């Protein structure tokens, strides 16, 4: 089950289907869910199902997990990759710190962090029953290190405090769950670096100049990490944060 119908969510779903899995796509936008399922149909017919779900709503999330388990007859893998990011137009979010609002902070925490807690809690029994349950959460380099605010100068994008705090919290939640759910379920994180989203050129140039591999990530770069952590190839890996950042954190 992949939470998030965005570009990364689609790459995750493609990877899992290519490995032989059936997937449930969760997203608040019903049309986005259905479009992703349609786009995945070329890989294998009836391999994906759309389950619209508002990640701000606890009951909706718990019901969505139950629907996914019922539809697929069980659950082996849970991937949480939905989040408010620094380019979202949420009021009081991707703005200078003094303009960031508690309302935006709370929404960011709810979607980025709390939803992972809720969905894991609801999915844990099905994951345990599978015999090889795996949970993957998508964090961020800004959950590991502080942002360099000079990267954003002259642009309309930013790095909200709520984003950094929620992603750092997600990494620690992963560690907590890796012991709480052991030995039945493995829990790991993937921490991407900056992913290309048509960012303003000043930001883009500054970012790649700071990246040893001299480019931003694309979704394809994350598929190997998903394949590794979701499969028995990582059967003895839990509590691990797999960084996929082109070397950003190596400096």
Domain residue spans of the chain: 2-145+161-195+220-243
In the chain, pLDDT over 90 holds for what percent of residues? 83
pLDDT at 51: 94
Q: What is the CATH number of domain 2-145+161-195+220-243?
A: 3.40.50.720
Q: Alpha-carbon distance 112 to 162, whole Å?
A: 9
Q: What share of the chain is helix, strand, coil (3-state, %, to 5)?
A: 50, 15, 35
pLDDT tens digits along 219-231: 999 999 999 999 9
SS (H, E, C) 58-109: HHHHHHHHHHHHHHHCCCCEEEECCCCCCCCCCCCCCCCHHHCCHHHHHHHH
Say what the pLDDT of residue 88 is: 78
pLDDT of residue 86: 72
Stated pTM of the model: 0.94
- Note the pLDDT of residue 189: 98
pLDDT value for 66: 97
Q: What is the pLDDT of residue 204?
A: 97
Residues of the chain with pLDDT under 70: 1-6
> How close are the terminal C-alpha atoms of the chain, in Å?
35
pLDDT in tens, 182-236: 999 999 999 999 999 999 999 999 999 999 999 999 999 999 999 999 999 999 9
Distance CA 83, CA 214 (A): 26
């Amino acid at each position: 089950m992949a939470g998030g119908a965005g570009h990364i969510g689609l790459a995750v779903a493609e990877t899992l289907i290519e490995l032989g899995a059936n997937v449930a796509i969760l997203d608040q936008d019903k049309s986005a869910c259905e479009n992703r399922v349609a786009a995945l149909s070329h890989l294998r017919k009836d391999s994906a199902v759309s389950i619209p779900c508002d990640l701000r709503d606890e009951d909706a999330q718990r019901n969505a997990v139950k629907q996914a388990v019922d539809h697929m007859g069980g659950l082996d893998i849970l991937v949480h990759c939905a989040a408010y990011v620094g380019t979202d137009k949420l009021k009081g979010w991707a703005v200078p710190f003094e303009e960031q609002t508690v309302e935006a902070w709370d929404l960011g925490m709810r979607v980025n962090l709390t939803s992972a807690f809720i969905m894991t809690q609801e999915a844990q029994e099905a994951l345990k029953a599978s015999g090889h349950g795996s949970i993957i959460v998508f964090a961020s380099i800004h959950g590991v290190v502080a942002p360099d605010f000079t990267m954003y100068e002259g642009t309309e994008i930013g790095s909200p405090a709520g984003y950094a705090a929620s992603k750092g919290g997600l990494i620690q939640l992963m560690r907590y769950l890796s012991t709480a759910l052991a030995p039945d379920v493995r829990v790991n994180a993937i921490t991407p670096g900056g992913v290309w989203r048509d960012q303003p050129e000043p930001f883009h140039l500054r970012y790649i100049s700071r990246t040893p591999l001299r480019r931003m990530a694309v979704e394809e770069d994350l598929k190997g990490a998903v394949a590794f952590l979701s499969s028995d190839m990582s059967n003895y890996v839990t509590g691990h944060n797999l960084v996929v950042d082109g070397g950003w954190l190596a400096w």
